[in-house]
Amino acid sequence: MNQGSLLQRLIARPEAGPFVLLLVEIIVFGSLNPDFLSPENIGNTLAFTVELGLIALAMTLLMTSGEFDLSVGSVFGFAPVLMWTLFNGGIVPLNVAFVAALAMAAVIGLVNGWFVTRLKITSFLVTLGMLLVVRGTALFITQGFPQRTWSAGGHALTSILVGEFRVGRMRLYMSLFWFIAAALALGYVLTGTKVGNWIQASGGNAGAARARGVNVDRTKVSLFVLSAVMSAFAGIISSIRTSAANPNSGTGYELEVIAMVVIGGTALTGGRGTVIGTVLGIFILRAMRNGIILVGVPGLAYNIFIGAIILGMMALHASLERRHHAGT
C-alpha cells in the first residue's frame, strides 16, 4: 500500500475530523491564553472531564447498538445520594453502600432495557421517563439537600476511586486511570470482539442480526445496564472528589454526553461507533468549555460554540458516511 492511500484512509476515518478539531482548539486556545496549556489547568480540566467521559464511553456502545439513554445524568446524581445516605445513616459500611449503589443502577438499566426491548417503546421515551423517576427519587429521599461525603475521609475506597496525586505541578486523580482503563477495555470490546460485532449488528440491522441467531435484546439490555452502572460509578467518583452528593448533580449531562459521542463519529442511528472518536469528542467539548472561559468569552455563550461544533461535525460525518456507502 502506498503512502497516499494510507493518508486517504486516515482522512476517511470518522475520527479524523474530531482529531483535527481538537488540535485546532488546543492551538487556538493555547496561543490566545498560555494558561490553557498550564499543568494546573490541564489537571483541573481533566478531573471532571474523565467523569463525564466514563458515561460517554458506555453511551458509545449503547448508541452503536441503536439506542440511547437520557437517564444517565439522573443516575449520576442518584447513585452517590443513595450510597452516602446508606453510609451516613450507619445502615451499611461504605464498601457495601458502594456496591448497593452500583447494583441499584444496574436495576435501573435493566428496567430501561426491559421497556425498550420487551415493550418496544423507544429509548427516548423510556429513558426520559426514567430520568424523571430517578431524579425525583433522589430529591425525595434527600428532601433536596446534599449528602455529606467527607465523613469517609481516608477510607481505602475513596483512595482507590479518586485518590489524588501530583505529576510535577499537575494535580491528577485516580479516576483518570479508571477512564483510561474503561476506554481501552470498551474500545477493544467494540472493535475486536464477537460481542462488539453483535453490538454493531444490533444497531445496523437488528432483523439481520436476529436472523443470524444474535440475541439483540440481551445485547441491548446489557448495554443499558452498562450505561447506568458507569453513570453511577462516575457520579460516585464525582461526589467524593467534590465532597458533596447533590441530588441535582448531573442535570443536563445526558445531552452533553450524547453530543460528545456523536461529535466523535458514532452514528446516532446506530450500527457504527468509535471509542477513539468519543475520547476525542469528550476532550473537544471540555476543552471548548475551558478554553472559551480562559480567552474571555462569556461562559453563557458556551452553547453557541457547542451547537456550531455539533452541526459542523454532523455535516462532516454525513459526508464521510455517503462516501463510505459509496465504497470510496
Which of 121, 208 has the CB closer to another protein?
Answer: 208
Helix (H/G/I), strand (E/B), else coil: 213 = coil
- What is the residue whose three cell numbers read 461562559? 299
- What is the residue whose three cell numbers read 452500583? 102
200 interacts with another protein by CB under 8 A: yes
Listed ranges 122-130, 228-236, 281-289, 319-327: which one lies at the site for another protein (CB under 8 A):
319-327
Q: Is 213 left (phi over 0), alpha (psi -120 to 50) or beta?
A: left
* Interactions with another protein, residue window 223-282 (CB under 8 A): 267, 271-272
Minimum distance from residue 1 beta carbon to another protein (Å): 11
Q: How many residues bind another protein (CB under 8 A)?
A: 27
13 interacts with another protein by CB under 8 A: no
Which of 39, 204, 242, 310 binds another protein (CB under 8 A)? It is 204
- What is the residue whose three cell numbers read 461504605? 94
Which of 207, 296 has the CB closer to another protein?
Answer: 207
Which of 120, 194 has the CB closer to another protein?
Answer: 194
Tell the burial category of 193 from Cβ atoms under 10 Å away from its Cβ (0-12, 13-18, 19+): exposed
52 phi and psi, to 5 degrees? -65, -35
How far apart CA 83 and CA 92 sit, in angstroms, is 9
197 interacts with another protein by CB under 8 A: yes
Listed ranges 71-79, 118-126, 149-157, 193-201: which one lies at the site for another protein (CB under 8 A):
193-201
Which of 59, 267 has the CB closer to another protein?
Answer: 267
209 interacts with another protein by CB under 8 A: yes
Which of 31, 269 has the CB closer to another protein?
Answer: 269
Minimum distance from residue 265 beta carbon to another protein (Å): 12
Indicate the length of the chain as a whole number: 328
Which of 193, 243, 303, 319 binds another protein (CB under 8 A)? It is 193
Minimum distance from residue 232 beta carbon to another protein (Å): 25
Listed ranges 125-133, 141-149, 185-193, 278-286: which one lies at the site for another protein (CB under 8 A):
185-193
99 interacts with another protein by CB under 8 A: no
Which of 100, 106, 128, 195 binds another protein (CB under 8 A)? It is 195
How far apart CA 236 and CA 77 sit, in angstroms, is 8
Provide the b/e sequence for 245-276 (b: ≥16 CB within 10 Å): bbbebbeebbebbbbbbbbbbbbeebbbbbbb
Cα dist. 290→36, 40, 263 in Å? 8, 12, 18
**Which residues make beta-bridge pairs with 147?**
245
Residue 123, CB half-sphere, CA atoms under 13 Å: how many? 26
Q: Is 140 left (phi over 0), alpha (psi -120 to 50) or beta?
A: alpha
Minimum distance from residue 267 beta carbon to another protein (Å): 8
Which of 137, 205 has the CB closer to another protein?
Answer: 205
Binding residues vs another protein (CB under 8 A): 189, 192-195, 197-198, 200-201, 203-205, 207-214, 267, 271-272, 324-327
